[in-house]
Amino acid sequence: MIVPMKKAHLVVLKEDKEKLLKSLQRYGELMITSTSDDSPSTTQEDNMLNRTNQSLKLLTKYREKKPLFGDYNVVEYNDFINKKEESLKLVDEVEEAEVTINNLTNDNKSLQEEIKSLLPWKSLEVKPCELSLSKMAVMHCGYLESRYIEAFTRLMEEYNNIYHIYDKSKMGFAIYFINYYEEDSEIIERLRSFNYSEATFPQTDKYIKDYLDDLNKKLEDNNLIIKENQDKLLEYSKSITDVQILNDQYLNDKVIKEVKYQRTDETIYIEGWVRSDRVERFEKSIQKATDIYDLELTDPSSDDVVPTFTKNKRFITPFESITDMFSKPQSDEIDPNPAMAIWYWILFGMMMADAGYGLLMMIGVIVLKKLLKPVGKAANLYNIILYSSITTIIWGILFGSYFGFTIPGVWFWFSPMEEPIMMLIVSVAIGGAHIITGLIIKAISNFKDKQYLDILSDQLSWILILCGIAMFFIKSLQFVGIVSAIVGVALIILFHGRKKKGVIGKFAFGVLGLYDITSYMSDLLSYSRIMALALSSASVAMVMNQLASMVQGGVFGTLFSILIYIVGHVFNLVLGLLSAYVHDSRLQYIEFFGKFFEGGGVDFRPLTIQSKYINVIKDEQKEI
Amino acid sequence: MTTGTIIAVIGAGLAAILAGIGSILGVQMCGKAAAGVTSEQPELFGKLLVLQILPGTQGLYGFLVAVLVMIQLGLLGGNAVELSTGAGWAFFGACMPIAINGLISAYFQAKVATSAIMMTAKQPESSGKGITMSVLVETYAILSLIVSILLIFGLPVA
């Protein structure tokens, strides 16, 4: 059923704004549609959202025990509405630790670079600051590739210079030599041809060896501090829930700030939609915030875009998500969900059609629901599969199919594997009934709009033709079938062209209306996919059984065959579920909805508490 | 083994191979697109996975037809039927609808599914429409599958 909407016009005092919006959000009854001229700034909230997200990312990394099925957070409303001082401090501390770790890690990188470049010089016996002190001689430190070392030695012997060759590094051998002042430029000039390059040292009054020790000491100290901070983060990650809640709190602050309203100097005006069955609750939610208010409720006018809220029995509700994936119904059309849900349920079972698989689905969903505690859309999907497991079992029993084994037990009708033609006929017949349901719904809607001729020409006629064709194949009803089909055809010829002018025009257009038979035929044939899916899932299951039975014998063989049973059937079940879900949806969208459904409605989205990390907000007061 | 049986086996093999190639191409095309989207919006993974796997069903249909031929000819049980050359060609022909249409439909369904993945990246709530659009292409693979199945069950084996 589609719940009618009321338009709410609400005026409150400016100073009550914050309190009112909080209360409206808490009870979640009003979809706000008013506009405003000024756009509020949410920089502070955005900033905090960024910070908490960043911290969460980091803390997740440091978390030791990750819950297998994600976090499950339950928070009291009163705890939710007030931000905890400690949580804010926690974010600060996490950020501080992160900055420290990052800085020191960068620091360590450059330290390591420096150590690496100085390492070849560790036995240099001159302090770097003394290298340029001599007046008579020039001391050089530099690098030379190994193939020039011999030439270098000869050069040094030639000038009788003091020289020393140290360790090899990436840039070549580290060399140290002393030239007389006069000869210096000449020697350097000659060395240039050997690709000689000078080394640069930090200005220090220590020996390189000691300097290196200092660097290593610093590196160790840094690592200690890093470790310390990592331990801190490890500790903080235990209170990750606090940060998650903080994130959700800022998210909701932002939602409230973004609410649009008109204002005068003293008052604000909010406009929106309320479900007509929840008006009382809505008014109470205002009273919780303030006594001074003015509320007017009006019926929607013709140029309003009215949001749609569908309210159905518990069995139907999960299937609403299937319709919503296609399109929300418009607020003034017939709710397609009840009929769609039942058909979806029946067809899903027919496509799976295995009692064993149905049982597996049922058990699997119940276990997963216990473990994951899904909410919202995910929960709907679980419930659809859970409900459909019942029809899967029923059709499985009718077809005598149990995990791919054909066992003609109780209630056995026929086996699709042995009588594929029969399966095809049943599929198309079911499809016919499905299409006729759609036509009946359209007829009801036309009846409400007083379009009686439309019912005769577009719905009743085709229902008669489809039923007539079906009866034609049953011997005893053959005559009735022919009559019914002829009446249907006559109705189309008579009324299909009723909007055209002139007798000839009416007649020609009426005959043209018969051309729709092609679309009905292709719709009917489309239901043969039920047979295809049922057969393919049944035969893959059969193949798995056959494969498993082929390897049986001995301990190894038995174990291996059990493995094939399990893996094969789970694989087939998952693929079957996906196909059934997809193709069942398609049959609803194209073949069924095509007959009556308009769609294009707007979802009813009241101002409510949004949550990313919190699963349940406990609030006893909410149920007024 | 008669020439007829060999021809029928080649037909069954082609059904599995060609429809399989279609699905391989299709699933990898969609997979590449889905992986790109997932890198930016990891929360869409579930929706994208459904879209990615859509062109994968044709491979399964081809496999199914191949197995049905094996069952019909008793190739799995060990008592292989001796087919005449004509009957062999008939089985070969029965395999062709799903072999050829499986290949082609999987490839083109993947193109639609890839676009649907892009659409889902921009509007996650319209993934249902994307699925429906891609499934429309698969209809013709299903029709071919039905033709192949009916022929295999209907053809005389002796």
pLDDT for B11-25, tens place per residue? Answer: 999 999 999 999 999
Chain A residues with CB-CB distance to B143 below 8 A? 525, 528
Domain at A172, CATH number: 3.30.70.2750
pLDDT of B77 higher than 70? no
Query: Given A528, A535, A585, which is nearest B132 (Cβ)?
Result: A585
Q: Which domain holds residue A574?
A: 337-407+420-595
Q: Which has the closest alpha carbon to A256: A19, A33, A75, A85? A: A19
| CB contact B49 to A (< 8 Å) | no
Token pair for A549: 């039975």
Q: Which residue of B has its CA nearest to A589?
A: B132
Query: From the CA of A421, how many Å to the nearest CA of chain B?
Result: 8
Mean pLDDT in order along chain A per 10 residues (624 residues):
92 90 90 83 89 90 76 82 86 92 93 88 81 80 85 85 84 85 83 84 84 92 93 88 90 89 89 92 90 91 90 94 89 93 97 95 95 85 96 95 87 87 91 96 94 90 93 89 93 86 85 86 89 89 88 89 94 92 91 90 89 80 65
Strand partners, A295: A10
| CB contact A90 to B (< 8 Å) | no
Q: Which residue of B has its CA nearest to A539?
A: B64
User: Which of A325, A340, A530 is best to mutate for the B interface (most B CBs within 10 A)?
Assistant: A325
The whole-angstrom separation of Cα A518 and Cα A515 is: 6
Are A585 and B131 inside 8 Å of each other by CB? yes
- For tokens 């709710």, the residue is A335
Q: How many separate domains does chain B show?
A: 1
Are B129 and A325 inside 8 Å of each other by CB? yes
pTM to 2 decimal places = 0.80
Q: Is the dihedral of CA A389, A395, A399, A400 positive or negative?
A: positive
Are B127 and A325 inside 8 Å of each other by CB? yes
Predicted confidence at residue B158, as pLDDT, reads 66
Chain B residues with CB-CB distance to A324 below 8 A? 128
Q: Which has the closest alpha carbon to A490: A524, A517, A439, A456? A: A456
Are A536 and B145 inside 8 Å of each other by CB? yes
Q: Which domain holds residue B46?
A: 3-154
Residues 137-156 of B with CB under 8 A from A: 139, 142-143, 145-146, 149-150, 153
Q: Which residue of A has its CA nearest to B128?
A: A325
Q: In this structure, are residues B85 and B7 in contact, taking their beta carbons and an 8 Å threshold?
A: yes
Phi first, then psi: give them for residue A74, nearest 5 degrees.
Answer: -115, 130
A216, A251, A272 — which closes off a domain?
A216
Predicted confidence at residue A174, as pLDDT, reads 87
Assigned domain for A206 exists: yes
Are A535 and B131 inside 8 Å of each other by CB? no
Rounded to a whole number, what is the distance in angstroms from the first to the last CA of chain B? 14
The whole-angstrom separation of Cα A134 and Cα A368 is: 83
Our measurement of the distance from residue B104's CA atom to the centroid of its chain's CA atoms, rounded to an integer in Å, reads 9
Predicted confidence at residue A433, as pLDDT, reads 96
b/e map A504-535, b = 16+ CB within 10 Å: eebeeebeebeeeeeebeebbbbbbbbbbbbb
Supply angle C-alpha A68, A73, A75, rounded to 5. 170
Note the ipTM here.
0.76
Residues 583-622 of A with CB under 8 A from B: 583, 585-586, 589-590
Q: What is the 3-state secondary structure (H, E, C) of chain B?
A: CCHHHHHHHHHHHHHHHHHHHHHHHHHHHHHHHHHHHHHHCHHHHHHHHHHHHHHHHHHHHHHHHHHHHHHHCCCCCCCCCCCCHHHHHHHHHHHHHHHHHHHHHHHHHHHHHHHHHHHHHHCHHHHHHHHHHHHHHHHHHHHHHHHHHHHHHHCCCC
**Residue A396 sits in the same domain as residue A532:** yes
Q: How many separate domains does chain A show?
A: 2
A198, A216, A234 — which closes off a domain?
A216
Assigned domain for A537 exists: yes
Strand order across the beta sheet in which A137-144 lies = A162-169, A172-180, A137-144, A197-198
Are B128 and A325 inside 8 Å of each other by CB? yes
Query: From the CA of A581, how many Å to the nearest CA of chain B?
Result: 10
Task: Provide CB contacts within 8 A for A590, sequence distance 6+.
Answer: A523, A526, B132, B136
Are B128 and A585 inside 8 Å of each other by CB? yes
Domain at B131, CATH number: 1.20.120.610
The three-state secondary structure class of A302 is: coil
Are A535 and B149 inside 8 Å of each other by CB? yes
Q: In this structure, are residues B122 and B79 in contact, taking their beta carbons and an 8 Å threshold?
A: no
A166, A199, A216 — which closes off a domain?
A216
Q: In this structure, are residues A195 and A151 in contact, taking their beta carbons and an 8 Å threshold?
A: no
Assigned domain for A435 exists: yes
Assigned domain for A288 exists: no
The whole-angstrom separation of Cα A451 and Cα A447 is: 6
Q: What is the 3-state secondary structure (H, E, C) of A194-254?
A: CCCEECCCCCCCCCHHHHHHHHHHHHHHHHHHHHHHHHHHHHHHHHHHHHHHHHHHHHHHH
Predicted confidence at residue A482, as pLDDT, reads 93
pLDDT of B101 higher than 90? yes
Query: Given A324, A528, A583, which is nearest B135 (Cβ)?
Result: A583
Predicted confidence at residue A237, as pLDDT, reads 87
